[in-house]
A and B are shown apart, each in its own frame.
Chain A
Amino acid sequence: MPANPAIKQVSDVAWEIPPSYKPGMQVPARLYATKKLLDNMDSGVIEQVTNVACLPGIVRYAYAMADAHWGYGFPIGGVAAFDTEKGIISPGGVGFDVNCGMRLIRTNLRFPEVKPRIKELVDLIFNLVPAGVGVKGTLNFSQSQMGDITSLGVKWCAEHDLAWEDDPQHVEEGGFIKGADISKVSRQAISRGVSQFGTLGSGNHYLEIQVVDPGRYLDRDLAKEFGIVHDDQVMVMIHCGSRGFGHQVCSDYLRNFESGMRSFGIEVRDRDLACLPFSSKEGQDYYSAMVCAANFAFVNRQIIVNQVREAFSRVFHRDAEALDMHLIYDVCHNVAKVETHTYDGTRTKVLVHRKGATRSFGPGHPDVPAPYKKIGQPVIIGGSMETGSYLLVGTQKAMEETFGSTAHGSGRTMSRTAAKKEVRGAELQRKMLDRGIYVKAATMDGLAEEAGMAYKDISEVVETMDRAGISKKVAALRPIGNIKG
């Protein structure tokens, strides 16, 4: 992106664009980035974050995190909070894949035990966790169960022996967001979703076996709080979302939001920012349906965890409890939630949209589960399959500055089509194997599209948010096995 004189540096890694930049801006835009990340950010981010700043009822700032890149309406890596009475709700501020998110599970296995069996483990998980075009899950829920499942999320799983007793408290919102209403979800969405529980999907979704990477970063004191006690401890990370259910919810409501705006006299700078008043019946209907989709995704990741625990148990001949395969945490990174925040000296409810952004609540917050109350909410930021990921914690500064929000991943720098021209999937798979990462992919095209060079440097993204004080690094995690749809 060429230098833009409107962007002012306000701190080491924070930049602002004033409301005078564009007619209609209600608030400034704030970006978190090093100079290098900012210089390499696509110019679409600036256009989009300043368009978001024009939306009715937005408060404080329109944010773009360090991994920001162009999206539909909102940039990916975008955060915006709205007054619940005067503000809007926008499907573009959530994303098609509602509650696409990350789940991290620990084990008490160490790298030397896992390394010789990584192929066996990955191959087995690949067989147990369906991934790719049109896959279906192995559990046969009925459509009549979908109301309860999408209302109660992981709590429903625990009540039906599909989760461990302590799983729900290690998931954002205790495993379900309140406010779901299945009557606001179309039959098409229910039909698409009912057979997809426990499936990984494709695109940038993955399931990764990882090992703690002290050479890159490890805060041993903080890591202990998560049950990470060895420098070569093996973890599992899952990245996926609400599958066809969430996508259909978004499609259904986007269709109507565009035409609905006229009746409320709302105009937006970009049709992908279609929005309605949060307090309107239509806005509330979308919210209720979106919450169903968010809870669907929590359940989807829970079913996958069960399959992963099964696979580890079979390969290492110990049950998953003996392997200490407890959840560290599960975070959403595409969602809109009603949260209570303090800004301008007042404590108030706002609707926070996080699109490709992660909640990052600090120590002591009532929504941070008891085991982590002292240290802050776990934050899981996923990198590309070649570069690895990070575990971090939320901070008080995030509460003060960004409505408790941080980045979610690396952010793409190259389109899928361009990536496939640069890289051959089979060759990439071989190179990764040479580097100690065994990858099993449903398609070689899909693998090539997810090559590391198509993404920003995850370490720089994470470092930026750490330097900004928004999320604090705990441990870097290096991939040793990966499953892709």
Chain B
Amino acid sequence: MTYRFLPDVALADIAFEAESDSVNGLFETCALAITDIMVDPRTLRATTERSLSLTSENLDRLLYDFMTELIFMKDVDSLLFGDFEVSVSEEGTSLAALARGEQIDRERHMLRNDVKAVTMHLFGVKHEGKSWRTTVVLDI
């Protein structure tokens, strides 16, 4: 499970590429990358747990909706998460997830960029052999 930032992809925003050997791992990796953009994850504790349950038309949309939900919880509930367990259905149209983190603490957390939206630019889930990959560009 890895992600790397892509400095030449988006001038005004932030892009990353994520890879995993499982679809569940891909979703978890994307979530960790988003957290890493918003806060130094080493400063996050896992004192709050949230269950997520999502359904979408296809796997691309499911990942888009999952990442959008994390941004939503950051804005509405002031929650940032550093640990994820995701289980995507075989059809790739639904998921159940557990996210662990805590409420934003401006004194203790090393906050970074405010992620506002997932764009569709270059977006799509690719599955080749054992590799699951995606490129995500986030509006900052």
Binding site for B on A (CB under 8 A): 42, 69-72, 76, 96-97, 132-134, 136, 188, 191-192, 195-196, 201-204, 243-244, 247-248, 250-251, 254-255, 258-259, 271-272, 274, 412-418, 421, 442-443, 445-446, 449, 485
Q: CB within 8 Å of A: which of B1-55?
A: 5-14, 38-39
Question: Given the known A-B contacts A244-B75, A272-B120, are A443 and B111 also in contact in the complex, defined by CB atoms under 8 Å?
Answer: yes
Query: Contact: B114 with A248, CB < 8 Å?
Result: no
Query: Contact: A202 with B113, CB < 8 Å?
Result: yes
Query: Contact: B114 with A203, CB < 8 Å?
Result: yes
Query: Contact: B72 with A96, CB < 8 Å?
Result: no
Chain B residues, Cβ within 8 Å of A485: 114
Question: Number of residue pairs across A and B with beta carbons under 8 Å?
Answer: 115
Chain A residues, Cβ within 8 Å of B13: 416
Query: Contact: A416 with B72, CB < 8 Å?
Result: no
Query: Contact: A442 with B111, CB < 8 Å?
Result: yes
Q: Could you write out 21 A-B pairs with CB less than 8 Å apart? A: A72-B120, A96-B117, A97-B139, A133-B38, A133-B104, A134-B114, A136-B78, A188-B72, A192-B76, A203-B116, A203-B140, A244-B72, A255-B64, A258-B120, A412-B12, A415-B7, A416-B14, A417-B5, A421-B7, A443-B111, A443-B113
Query: Contact: B111 with A133, CB < 8 Å?
Result: yes
Q: What is the CA–CA distance of A251 and B104 in the complex, to the nearest angstrom?
A: 24
Min CB distance B77 to A, Å, is 9
- Residue from B110, B117, B121, B137 in contact with A248 in the complex, judged by beta carbons closer than 8 Å: B117
Chain A residues, Cβ within 8 Å of B137: 72
Q: What is the CA–CA distance of A72 and B121 in the complex, to the nearest angstrom?
A: 7
Query: Contact: B74 with A134, CB < 8 Å?
Result: yes
Q: What is the CA–CA distance of A455 and B73 in the complex, to the nearest angstrom?
A: 32
Q: What is the CA–CA distance of A415 and B9 in the complex, to the nearest angstrom?
A: 8
Given A96-B139, A251-B118, A415-B11, 16 new contacts (CB under 8 A): A96-B117, A191-B72, A191-B75, A202-B140, A203-B114, A203-B116, A247-B117, A250-B117, A258-B120, A272-B121, A416-B7, A416-B113, A418-B8, A443-B110, A443-B113, A446-B113
Question: Given the known A-B contacts A134-B78, A191-B72, A416-B140, are A251 and B14 also in contact in the complex, defined by CB atoms under 8 Å?
Answer: no
Q: What total of chain B residues lie within 8 Å of the partner, measured CB to CB?
A: 39
Chain B residues, Cβ within 8 Å of A191: 72, 75-76
Min CB distance B37 to A, Å, is 9
B119 in the interface, Cβ–Cβ < 8 Å? yes
Interface string of B94-119 (1 = CB under 8 A from A): 00000000001010001111101111
Chain B residues, Cβ within 8 Å of A449: 113
Query: Contact: B116 with A244, CB < 8 Å?
Result: yes
- Identify the closest chain B residue to A258 (Cβ): B120
Question: Given the known A-B contacts A133-B104, A134-B78, A203-B140, are A96 and B119 also in contact in the complex, defined by CB atoms under 8 Å?
Answer: yes
Q: What is the CA–CA distance of A297 and B13 in the complex, to the nearest angstrom?
A: 20
B93 in the interface, Cβ–Cβ < 8 Å? no
Q: What is the CA–CA distance of A202 and B139 in the complex, to the nearest angstrom?
A: 11
Query: Contact: B14 with A132, CB < 8 Å?
Result: no
Q: Which of B5, B10, B111, B118 lies at the interface centre, i.e. has the most chain A CB atoms within 10 A of its CB?
A: B111
Query: Contact: A247 with B139, CB < 8 Å?
Result: yes
- Residue from A248, A274, A446 in contact with B120 in the complex, judged by beta carbons closer than 8 Å: A274
Q: Which of A201, A243, A445 lies at the interface centre, i.e. has the most chain B CB atoms within 10 A of its CB?
A: A445
Query: Contact: A417 with B120, CB < 8 Å?
Result: no
B87 in the interface, Cβ–Cβ < 8 Å? no
- Identify the closest chain A residue to B11 (Cβ): A412
Query: Contact: A417 with B7, CB < 8 Å?
Result: yes
Question: Given the known A-B contacts A96-B119, A485-B114, are A133 and B7 also in contact in the complex, defined by CB atoms under 8 Å?
Answer: no
Question: Given the known A-B contacts A133-B38, A191-B76, are A415 and B104 also in contact in the complex, defined by CB atoms under 8 Å?
Answer: no
Min CB distance B82 to A, Å, is 14
Query: Contact: B14 with A134, CB < 8 Å?
Result: no
Query: Contact: B112 with A251, CB < 8 Å?
Result: no
Q: What is the CA–CA distance of A136 and B5 in the complex, to the nearest angstrom?
A: 28
Chain A residues, Cβ within 8 Å of B14: 416-417
Chain A residues, Cβ within 8 Å of B140: 202-203, 416
Q: CB within 8 Å of A: which of B65-81?
A: 68, 71-72, 74-76, 78, 80
Q: What is the CA–CA distance of A33 and B104 in the complex, to the nearest angstrom?
A: 44
Query: Contact: A251 with B114, CB < 8 Å?
Result: no
